[in-house]
Each structure stands twice: as C-alpha cells, then as structure tokens.
Structure 1
Amino acid sequence: MGTPMADYGDGTRCVHGGQAAPEPGAPLSHGPVFAAPYHLGGGDFYGRAGNPGWRGLEEAIGELDGGRCVLLPSGMAAISTLLRSVLRAGDALILPSDGYYATRELVRDEFAELSLDVREIPTAGPWEDGVFDGVRLVLLETPSNPGLDVCDIAALAERAHAAGALVAVDNTTATPIGQRPLELGADIVVASDTKALAGHSDLLMGHVSVRDEELAERLVRARTLSGSIPGPFETWLVHRSMATLDLRLARQAENAAALAEVLREHPAVSGLRWPGMAADPAHELAGRQMRRWGGVLRFELADAGAVEEFVRRSRLVVAATSFGGLHTTADRRAQWGDPVPEGFVRLSAGCEDTADLVADVVQALG
C-alpha cells in the first residue's frame, strides 16, 4: 500500500490513506478485487482469509485511529467479534446503559451462555469507587447514542487499567477524525462505518482498531473462522467514500451548529443536546477530548405525533434510523425500544445548504 500518512492533515489522510502507490499506465483509482481462490504462490490464497481491498481500507482507517484496523461487515459484527474474542465464561463486563440498545440486546440474548457479570452504567456516570473491580472489559460509548452524553476516556481508562480491565470505545458518533480514543488511553476502538465514515446511507461496514498485535491477530482469526467478512464491492465503496469524510463532517457540524442555535430558542423543543454547543453539559469535557464536532444532535418534541407531523411538514428531513449520511434524517428513538420519551428525536444533520436546512426545520416545527 501507500506511504504512511501520519504527518499529514485529516483531509489529506482521508483522500490518500490506504491507496496503492502510483503505477504508470494503471488506473488512478483501483477497483474492487473479486476473488474466492487466488493463484497460489503469492500472499493471498482464499477470499475468506484476505483481500487487497480490505487491507487498503484497513490501512486508511488504522492511520486515522492510530492502531491496526480489522474490518468487519457491519458495526454489530465488529462488536460481536470483539466480545467473542475477549470475553470468557463468568467475566465481568461494563456496558453503557444509555448506549446503542442492540449492544445490550446482543449481550443479554447471544452471550447468555457465558453467565457474564454485566454492569450497566450511564455514560456520564456515576463511576463509583470499585466499579472496575474484577472487570475484564469496559465498553464506553462517547458521545453516546442516542443521548449524546460524554465520559472522560483518559480518566476512566486509567482507573480501569489499574484494576486490570481492557477499555473499548464505540467511536461511531465521533468518527476517527472527530476523536481518537487510542491516543486517550483506550485499548480498543470499535465503530459502525455504516454511519459517517461511509456516509452515503447505502451499505453496511464496521471495524475494530487496536494497538496490541496479539489481539489484532485474534480478531483476524475470529473473522476468518466465523466467515464474518466484508464484501469486496462494499469495501471499495467505503474506501472511495472515505475520501470526502473530512469535507462531509465539516458541513454536517456546521449544519448541526446552526440548527442547535435555532432549536434552543424554539418553544416546541426541549432537551436539546449537542456537545459542540457552549451551553451543553458535556461541552467542556467533549472539547478536551474531541478533535472536532459531529453532525448529530438530539431534542424532544411533545409526543410521537408531534415528531410525525414535523417530518411530514419538512421537505428536507426524512425519517430513517441511521445517521452520518448526506441527507438530514430524524429518528424517533422510542420506537426501537430506547428508554427515552416518545417525542425524543435523534437528528443527523446532512450536507444540505445550511440556510435551506435551517429554514426548512423551522417551518416544519411550526
């Protein structure tokens, strides 16, 4: 693959990361590699074990995360592969009680046979003395999804390590250019690249990044043996899409800031949260550990009907249960079982013109 990009800025790394070295007469941008078996004698031998497209994208993401990236076919595949590679029967596990609901369901339903000691703690705490005692893995999610609370990664990692625990951070909401948990003391980064990293709402992908080579090899082996592998075309699409991550995130954050400004004064809106807003309870802490703001904010309307009416009246906001894409989306999270009020909205600001988006949201709220 190409030259390491550590000395370059975010935009340059997004565009050039993991790209093949220039070759006269070869395509400027190489296409996906479709192969099951390979001609023997080279590095690759079978498609389930390796693919040049995976390695290119893994290099690009790993450069941003600051570790070795292992690509998986979805965010949940990344979470489940991590948990199965680290946890053993009877281990203690800390999960965010306000994080992504499917992670809690996975542990409760699919890991029941391990008889884990599962401790659920809100992202903002309280993180009491002794909470890490006997824990094998701490999974943090900051900013949390959907509440957008924030926890101190460095401080919690120090305490967890002192108790002998590993620390993983779900970095989906922040993205690898918004926050680098490995540099803050975490052992593991996990993310759904379906969201902002791919950013076009048309595919699924996930990854785990670590600095421990032995753990990385365990993850690769788990991926190979389980067959939980990313498709070559999807991998190519993510790598192509990642080139604009820096630009997309900048516009999304600009739009989120403008929306937060008008929503905080709107009489129909309550419970507004966006870490980039100076009045947000998490702003100071988020500003210390995040490198830039994202495009996801949350607020509450009166009830489910008010959310439905808001989406119906809007010309630019669509109802969808993902975030980080080009289009602005609204998701009423209570419908999926999140413990939030019926009128709770997670809004993912897209890449529309800021003035158009703000005007549309204001008129849709009435």
Structure 2
Amino acid sequence: MTTPPRDARALSLLHHRAESLHKGDPLSLPLTLSSVFHLPGDPQAEFTYGRFSTPVWQELEAQLGVIEAADCVVFPSGMAAIAAVFYAHLKSGDRVLMPSDGYYTGRVLLERFLVKLGVEPVLRPTLDFATTPLDGFAMAFIETPSNPGLEVCDIAAFSARAKAAGVLTVVDNTTCTAFLQQPLDLGADLVVVSDTKSSAGHSDVLLGHVAARDPGLLQQVRDWRTLSGAIPGPFEAWLTHRGLETLDVRLERMCRSAGVIAERFAAHPAVQSVRYPGLADDPSHAIAAKQMSGFGFIISLTLESAEAAEAFITSCTALASTTSFGGVHSSAERRARWGDAVAPGFVRLSVGVEPTEALWSAFAAALPG
C-alpha cells in the first residue's frame, strides 16, 4: 500500500467524519465522558467498557489512520506508545538496537525495566545504523531525524536489511509526522508518534499512537493497551482530534519559517554551527531529501557557551523556554541540561506559527553581538 498524496490526506482528514453522519448530527466530534455503556443482555456491542474502547478514541484512531494510511492505536503519551511496542513485541533473550543519540527516555525504559525481563538493549549512534550487523537482533528502533541532533537514517535501506535478517523495524516519526515522512511506505513494520508534539499542536495534551499495516502486529499492541490499562482519557483524545484538523496548515507555516531561519542562523557570526536537514550542506540533507516531503520545524544550533545559550533563550521575546516541541509557540531549550551528549551551548529550537520575519527579528535581537 502506498500513502496517498499529502493534499488528499489533508482533505480527507477534515471530511472523513461526514461519511458516518446522519441528518442532524453534530459536525464537530462530541466529547463523550463515560466509562460505561448501556449493555443489557448479550454483552457484544460496539462499546462496552471504557478500558476497551470509547467513541472518542474510535474517531481519533480513524483520523490518525487517514494521515498514516494505516490502522492506529492511541495511548496516553508518546512514551506509552513506545512502551506498548516494547512490551507487546519483546521477550526474554531478545536484543534491541537503539539509537544512542535519540530521545533518551526510550533507552532509560529499556535499561531500567526491560533488562530485568531479559531484554538486551544495544546502543549505536544513528549514523552507525547503516553499517551495524543485524544478525541476532529481534527489534531495531529508529528515530529519524534524531532528537535532538537531527541525524538521519535511510529508512528504506535499513528496513530492507532488517527484513532480510528477520528484525522488526520500529520508527519514531515524532519529529516529522506522517505528513512529512511515511516510514510504513519505506518498509518499517511499526511507527510510533508522540502526538503531544505537533500532531495535537497546542501544548495542552499528552497523547501518542502506534501505526501499522500488519493487523497481527497492531493487535498485540492493542491487546497490551487493554490489559495494561495504558489508555488515554476521552478529553485528551478529543483535544488531539481537534488539533489534528489544523496540522497540515501549521506544518506548512512552521517548515517554511524554519527553512528561512536556519539559513540565517548559519550565516550569523554568533552561531557556531547549525543542524537542519533542509540546508543544502547539512550532512543529513541528501537522505532527508529522498525520504522526507518536508524538512521539519526543528533547528539545532550551537552557541559559544551554556551561558550564551541560556541568555539567548531567556531574553528572546518570541521563545518559550520549555521542553518538548511542535507547539504553535516557538520554543527552545539547552539540551545538555538533560544529559544529552551535546555541547554546553547546544540549543534545540522548535519553530512555531508566528510570522517568519517578526520571528527572525526577535531571534536576531537575542543573539550575542
């Protein structure tokens, strides 16, 4: 199956609900706050109990399915989605290839908890995935572009090698979403996304999802959600459903602005280095141009020192000093404070939906010199 063009998915995203509407039904998704449902006699029904499924989840999963061109299962956070994939598909004795330079919490989950169950994590930099022998692995977990360094892995090439070796390929697609990159088209088995970020887009909800085109793989994830109780609340699912309706237009502004601003950061004397896959001389550019339909909204830049980075972030009138990314407000943080293996002056900057020139003026005014 090949994912339909982005414009077709964006159109369907806004109108797919109409297919199930009857005369007089609300156009907007109603918020259904109920843990139980009317269930006399035979318990077989579309909805039976809030831990199994709810009307809001069902609509959100259908909406995400339009973007992914695949079936989806929602979770109360991106990490809950990652955990579900690990616990549903790993067993004692399995080895997992993980990026040493990717989002750190997935590594911590493996190293603190799954090792107790006999799972062995093997850490390699994202750039080494292309040459790492895959024999003996049960799963490979890719994050591309990586967070926070924005290194890129060739998903198609890696997935082909993994498939030949019998290795399950999981791709964290949070930094792109399926509007900018379609890992399932490129051979990945499972996709995880933290919808807390740009999918929901307003920094007011935690949510995540898993997508797959193999019903058996996804059913194990769904069963784990039901039995573990790792379920999102209906209000959180409703907020995400609403946020997704503007994802396409938000991404268009955010990515366009990021491309302009990354070039200006690269030319600024106070900036020691810039990583952005859209820059023609970025080490990730060639692969990113091949497998991504847009270069994203995250820019990594390095200033002279930790003090310079903190001063830039705190003095800029157009930056929220906060962790996470993908919101409508531009935000930034110095990632070394979390223990990432980056320079003290390294800043991960998430471009929001503010007007491009006004945003750059605020950035330029806050930079040293």
Same fold (TM over 0.5): yes
**2-side partners of 1:320 and 1:56: how far apart?**
31
Q: Which residue of 2 aligns with 1:353?
A: 355
SS where residue 323 of structure 2 aligns?
coil
Task: Give the TM-score taking structure 1 as reference length.
Answer: 0.95
Write the letter of the residue equivalent to 1:34. L
C-alpha offsets along residues 49-108 of structure 1, whole Å, 9 cap, x if unaligned? 001111111111122212210100000000001100000001010001110011111110
Q: Note closer, same or farther for the CA distance 1:13–1:280 as it changes in structure 2 (3 Å cut).
A: farther
State whether structure 2 residue 106 is matched by structure 1 residue 103: yes
SS where residue 243 of structure 2 aligns?
helix
SS where residue 122 of structure 2 aligns?
strand
Q: CA deviation at 1:21?
A: 2.5
Structure 1 window deviating more from structure 2 (33-42 vs 153-162): it is 33-42
The correspondence of residues 43-122 of structure 1 with structure 2, limited to 5 A, is 43-122=46-125
Q: Which residue of 2 aligns with 1:264?
A: 266
Q: Note closer, same or farther for the CA distance 1:259–1:76 as it changes in structure 2 (3 Å cut).
A: same
Task: Compute the RMSD of aligned alpha carbons.
Answer: 1.7
The correspondence of residues 315-354 of structure 1 with structure 2, limited to 5 A, is 315-354=317-356
Write the letter of the residue equivalent to 2:271. V
Write the letter of the residue equivalent to 2:48. F
Is contact 2:144–2:153 with CA below 8 Å preserved after alignment? yes
Of residues 302, 305, 310 in structure 2, which corresponds to 1:303?
305
Q: Which residue of 2 aligns with 1:37?
A: 36
C-alpha offsets along residues 182-229 of structure 1, whole Å, 9 cap, x if unaligned? 000000000100001000001100000011111211111110111100
SS where residue 32 of structure 2 aligns?
coil
Q: Note closer, same or farther for the CA distance 1:76–1:267 as it changes in structure 2 (3 Å cut).
A: same
The correspondence of residues 128-277 of structure 1 with structure 2, limited to 5 A, is 128=131, 131-277=133-279
**1-side partners of 2:271 and 2:18: how far apart?**
45
SS where residue 224 of structure 1 aligns?
helix
SS where residue 307 of structure 1 aligns?
helix
Percent identity (aligned): 44
Q: CA deviation at 1:303?
A: 1.6
Q: Note closer, same or farther for the CA distance 1:7–1:191 as it changes in structure 2 (3 Å cut).
A: closer
Is contact 2:91–2:118 with CA below 8 Å preserved after alignment? no
Is contact 2:314–2:321 with CA below 8 Å preserved after alignment? no
Is contact 1:14–1:245 with CA below 8 Å preserved after alignment? no
Of residues 120, 124, 127 in structure 2, which corresponds to 1:124?
127
Is contact 2:129–2:158 with CA below 8 Å preserved after alignment? no
Is contact 1:61–1:176 with CA below 8 Å preserved after alignment? no
Q: CA deviation at 1:142?
A: 0.3
C-alpha offsets along residues 22-43 of structure 1, whole Å, 9 cap, x if unaligned? 3222211122111111111531
Write the letter of the residue equivalent to 1:269. V
Q: Note closer, same or farther for the CA distance 1:76–1:275 as it changes in structure 2 (3 Å cut).
A: same
**1-side partners of 2:184 and 2:87: how far apart?**
21
Q: CA deviation at 1:11?
A: 2.5
SS where residue 298 of structure 1 aligns?
strand
Q: CA deviation at 1:284?
A: 1.2
SS where residue 181 of structure 1 aligns?
coil
Structure 1 window deviating more from structure 2 (48-57 vs 181-190): it is 48-57
State whether structure 2 residue 28 is matched by structure 1 residue 26: no
Once superposed, which parts of structure 1, at least 4 consecutive aligned residues long, lie more than 3 Å away? 4-8, 17-20
Write the letter of the residue equivalent to 2:280. A
Pairs aligned (count): 362
**1-side partners of 2:262 and 2:114: how far apart?**
39
**2-side partners of 1:104 and 1:358: how far apart?**
35
Structure 1 window deviating more from structure 2 (303-312 vs 316-325): it is 303-312
**1-side partners of 2:32 and 2:218: how far apart?**
23
Is contact 1:136–1:165 with CA below 8 Å preserved after alignment? yes
Task: Give the TM-score taking structure 2 as reference length.
Answer: 0.95
SS where residue 133 of structure 1 aligns?
coil
**2-side partners of 1:167 and 1:289: how far apart?**
16
Write the letter of the residue equivalent to 1:293. F
Is contact 1:192–1:207 with CA below 8 Å preserved after alignment? yes
